Amino acid sequence: MLRRKVVVPIVIAVSILIIGGLTLFLTNSNQNGVALNENQYPSPPPKTLNEKINPDIINSESEWTTNNTHDAEIIKVDDWYYTFSTDYMVAGTPSPGIQIRKSKDMINWSFVGRVFSSVSTEAAEWTKGGNTFWAPDVIEMNGTFYLYYSVSGFGTRNSYIGLATSTSIEGPWEDQGAVVKTQEEDNKTVNAIDPGIIIDKEGNPWMTYGSYFGGIFIVELDKSTGKLKSPEEEGTLIAQRKNNDYEIEGPAIMYNDDTEMYYLTLSYGWLEDTYNVRVARSANIEGPYLDYNDKNMVDLTEGSFDTGTKIVGAYAFNNDTGWLGTGHNGLIQDGDKYYITHNARAGEDLYWSHLHVREIIWTEDGWPVVSPERYAGIPEKSTEELTEKNIIGEWEYLTLSRIDDAMATSTNLTLFENGKINEKDGKDYWERSSSNTIKLYWHDNEAPDNYWVDTVTVLPQWDWENWKPTLVFTGLNEEGTAVWGKKISNEIGK
């Protein structure tokens, strides 16, 4: 891009002020020297990415970035990350075709285009009028990219999962027809939507799919064709809820070599507001999948919201309207790091749906938890130098209740130098158990040994609400409830 030479000195001057101000914050925000160094935090993302609502870009796809993203699945090809997502557009009718975006860093996303220009005649006729694509997933296998997609008649089991293939991740794509089809009058249980593809530890492909119409199933695929290995089988039921009033959909599975476990993620709640992500795990690809409290994901006896370990849900920190509809996730392993993508709708206007990417952190007992802040990059330097003095100060704290799917809001949390929480002489206390792990002890006479315990990992992140670097924590309490924290001041009472 050409720039006029006359503006260069101004740009340089402004850049110096910004960089200088950021450095001053990072190194001098606490006179006791407890802030980390500048290169121990992620770099500031572009400010424009923090715009939740921007009517000026509604009809300009090149400016959508994370806007209008729904049900995105993610794949890395060479040095690029790609997402494939549902046809969606705020304040308008979306063009059918499966949206494609790409990024070098999972922060700055550009719109590539669409896989198709219309739903196939076969899919439209089978679904009795389905005219847009839902919830795609894509994998690379046999030197070919396999793209799985859904077409459905909304609110029915008239559904169709199809397959397209290409030798290039950006296409062109060739439609290979149906993988599995369901209709209201058939003798199947499953609903053919929301395909999630995984290659098991032996190298065999599987598809998990389904919804609250019948639950979530997993079925093996033919490695040579990408379609069902046994065409007449709907697979094994691995998750369900009491009835159709209890939403469940959007399954995905990842495998962790360190724990030798498969992790099933799926979404509960309504996509516009209470959407949230739950997780369960199994040593076997076909289950059974158990949550943190050893509840089987197919168990209907309780029929409550208290099955599945919630790791992402609607939330709001201070100084922000928060995010709703935080569900339908994708998963990616990149080297030794794991990430989750999911929808997020603006707290002030739930029709604006964005792509969120967050880092996954693994607990000491092998459960995935999620950063309370969106991904903004990896710091240049590790946080091995994290000390107790870094942790002392004022925080925001929230819990993602498994029972209540309404928006979680934060409360104030003070961590004192003497190890106490909120009151210098109170019974609640905290301690550091490793270089980046702390435990919060909450006194309760009815708790085991009189204390409930949160075990959380501390990490440096970008504070999107206050637009500055900060420390956050994420973890689980003894009951498997996710807890999030964000540091807002290094000095007590500031």
Amino acid found at 177: G
CB 335 within 8 A of CB 295: no
How far apart CA 197 and CA 180 sit, in angstroms, is 14
Tell me the CB-side half-sphere exposure of residue 174, using CA atoms within 13 A: 7
Catalytic-labelled residue, pool 71, 73, 234, 373: 71
Q: How many CB atoms lie within 10 A of CB 424?
A: 12
State how far the alpha carbon of 118 is from the alpha carbons of 87, 196, 270, 392, 479, in Å.
11, 22, 27, 56, 47
> How far from each other are the two terminal CA atoms of the chain, in whole angstroms?
44
Is residue 249 part of the annotated active site? The answer reads yes
Q: How far is CA 426 from the centre of its chain?
A: 36
How far apart CA 210 and CA 189 sit, in angstroms, is 9
Find, among 199, 201, 132, 204, the residue nearest to 162 by Cα: 132
Find, among 103, 195, 213, 111, the residue nearest to 149 by Cα: 195
Q: How many residues does the chain have?
A: 494
DSSP category for residue 37: P
Is residue 394 part of the annotated active site? The answer reads no
Q: How far is CA 427 from the centre of its chain?
A: 35
CB 183 within 8 A of CB 192: no
How far apart CA 85 and CA 166 sit, in angstroms, is 17
Alpha-carbon radius of gyration of the chain? 23
How far apart CA 144 and CA 302 sit, in angstroms, is 44
How far apart CA 83 and CA 155 sit, in angstroms, is 26
Find, among 46, 43, 15, 42, the residue nearest to 108 by Cα: 46
Catalytic-labelled residue, pool 73, 87, 137, 249: 249
How far apart CA 150 and CA 154 sit, in angstroms, is 11
Active site residues: 71, 249
